[in-house]
Amino acid sequence: MPFISNTPAQREQMLAEIGLSMDELFDDIPSQLKTEAFDLPRGLSEQETQGRLMELAQKNATHLTCFLGGGFYDHFIPAAVDAIVSRSEFYTAYTPYQPELSQGVLQAIYEYQSMICRLTEMEVANASLYDGGTALYEAMMMALRITGRNKVIVDDSVNPIYRVMIQSYTQNLKIELDQTHCQDGLTNRNQILQMIDDKTAAVIVQNPNFFGCIDEFSDIADAAHDKGSLLIVSSYPVSLGILKTPAAMGADIVTGEGQSLGIPMSFGGPYLGFMASAKQYVRKMPGRIAGETLDASGRKAYVLTLQAREQHIRRDKATSNICSNEALCALTALVYLSLLGKEGLKETAQLCADKANYAYRRLTAIPGVEPHFRGKWFFNEFVLDLPCEAADVIAKLIEKRFAAGFPLGRYYEGMENSILICVTEKRTKQEIGMLAEALESVL
């Protein structure tokens, strides 16, 4: 049998030694609850399995030149990332409950937390959450715990997938979720400033927002703090190579999707939710946290800390039900950031902005293609209005081997002709030119 080490003879010997038959080992399951009739296929050899899965993999379209973003990005991943995270001492380990055998993972988590703090300029970070969406929901719950309030304001320029996730999670809880409507590509500060009151736990915004526009939230942070509310910013970590940090804008809690930091797109996961906050809120944070300490003989050591917040200790009073973190994905992000380093991340972010701006100019030169938001700064995504339905145009461009962008009509009423286009550092001038030609030809 695959992956089972005992030989039939060993099994017989072991059964004889404990004085039971194989059937007797399952005597505690009442016979009417046992089943024989599992309708499952026979097991496949490794060769058959690889063959079948390769066939399935080839039915997926990875031949398209990717201008599709929407919070999930096709960035370049250096080969050393995979070489390091494929070391099985990391990936076949479990949660570092025994620090003596887990200093590798624990120190890596500590370094990852430090890396997230340096990237966001926040004071503390946790060991990671499932993804950017659940991280944002957890940040909202954290704000409710900190403030003891139950009203949350979220602008609709926050990733619509995250907003619907938050709606799902809050339907059984007594939380008032108010939505403001983005104004000309930026967070609707007027509406937010009017709505914040002394019941508001938090204001949730995103930078760059879902449309790719770069915003500055200092005014919203001030207004929120005036009323004792918190500012939660969902951010795109690669953009922090050049963009103003959430901390510099006055954010209290920062979350984001870490997929862009060296993690493959893998059809939606596994990804990496990161979370950072001001130090004063660390005891209200969800999820695992690694900390530095000393061992019995005074050596520096790392452990999981502040565990009294967590479900295995506090059960129904825990700060969250989360148990896992995305340890291997956090390690991936740490390795990626280490390889790029200070200059590399800055250059990558700058390249994204340069190429997106070039694409914007190239594409808006096409007759009938207009910018949706004029005169707005954007990072590596932007919105264009087409003379016809964007979904149709995108479908035609797929035939020309482009994943040209995302049709915004899917989530925003009245934006049926609008397309969200993303350009990462991977795209070349030539590819952008080819997209422009293809787009012009299908309009």
Partner 1 sequence: MKLIFEKSAAGRRGVRTAPTDVPRISIRTDLLRQEPANLPELSELDVVRHFTELSRRNFGVDNNFYPLGSCTMKYNPKVAEHIASYPGFADLHPLLPQLRMGGMLTQGALRVLHEIDLLLREITGMARFTTQPLAGAHGELTGMMIMAAYHREQGNKKTTVLIPDSAHGTNPASAAIAGYRVVSIPSNENGVMDIETIKQHLNDEVAGLMLTCPNTLGLFNPHVKDICDLIHSVDGLAYYDGANLNAIVGKARPGDFGFDILHLNLHKTFATPHGGGGPGAGPVGVKKKLVPFLPVSVVTKRDDGTYALQYDRPKSIGYIAPFYGNFGVVLKAYVYILMLGKEGLRRVAENAVLNANYVKEKLKGHYRPAFDRLCKHECVFTISQRMAQNGIRAVDIAKALIDKGFHPPTVYFPTIIAEAMMIEPTETESKETLDSFIDAMIEIAEQAENEPEKLKAAPTTAVVCRPNETAAAKNLNIACS
325-384 positions binding partner 1, by CB under 8 A: 325-329, 331, 334-335, 337-348, 350-351, 353-355, 357-358, 377
Backbone angles phi, psi at 156, to 5 degrees: -80, 5
DSSP per-residue string spanning 367-432: TT-EESSTT--BSSEEEEE-SS-HHHHHHHHHHTTEE--EEGGGTSTT-TTEEEEE--TT--HHHH
Among 181, 313, 365, 388, binds partner 1 (CB under 8 A): 313
> Which of the residues 216 through 245 are near partner 1 (CB under 8 A)?
216, 240-245
Sole binder of partner 1 in the list 145, 199, 250, 269 (CB under 8 A): 269
Residue with smaller CB distance to partner 1, 17 or 413: 17
Residue 443: Cβ-neighbour burial (10 angstroms; 0-12, 13-18, 19+): middle
CB of 82 to partner 1, least distance (A): 8
Q: Which of 295, 365, 368, 441 binds partner 1 (CB under 8 A)?
A: 295
Nearer to partner 1, 294 or 413 (CB): 294
Nearer CB in complex with partner 1: 204/289: 289
Two tokens, residue 182: 């983005």
Four-point Cα dihedral 387, 393, 396, 398, nearest 10: 150
Q: Is the peptide bond before 160 cis (omega within 30 degrees of 0)?
A: no
Look at residue 70 and give its three-state secondary structure: coil
**Selected range binding partner 1 among 128-136, 144-152, 177-185, 198-206, rule: CB under 8 A:** 128-136
The rounded distance, in Å, linking the Cα atoms of 226 and 187 is 19
Q: Where does this chain touch partner 1 (CB under 8 A) — which range of 149-157, 166-174, 196-204, 227-235?
A: 166-174
Shortest CB 78 distance to partner 1, Å? 4
Q: Containing H/E element for 277?
A: strand 273-277
Least Å distance, CB 170 to partner 1, is 10
Query: Which residue in 243, 177, 182, 245 sits closest to 210, CA to CA?
Result: 182
Binding mask 57-96 vs partner 1 (x if CB under 8 A, - otherwise)? xxxxxx-x-x-x-xxx-x-x-x-x-xxx-xxxxxxxxxxx
CB of 370 to partner 1, least distance (A): 20
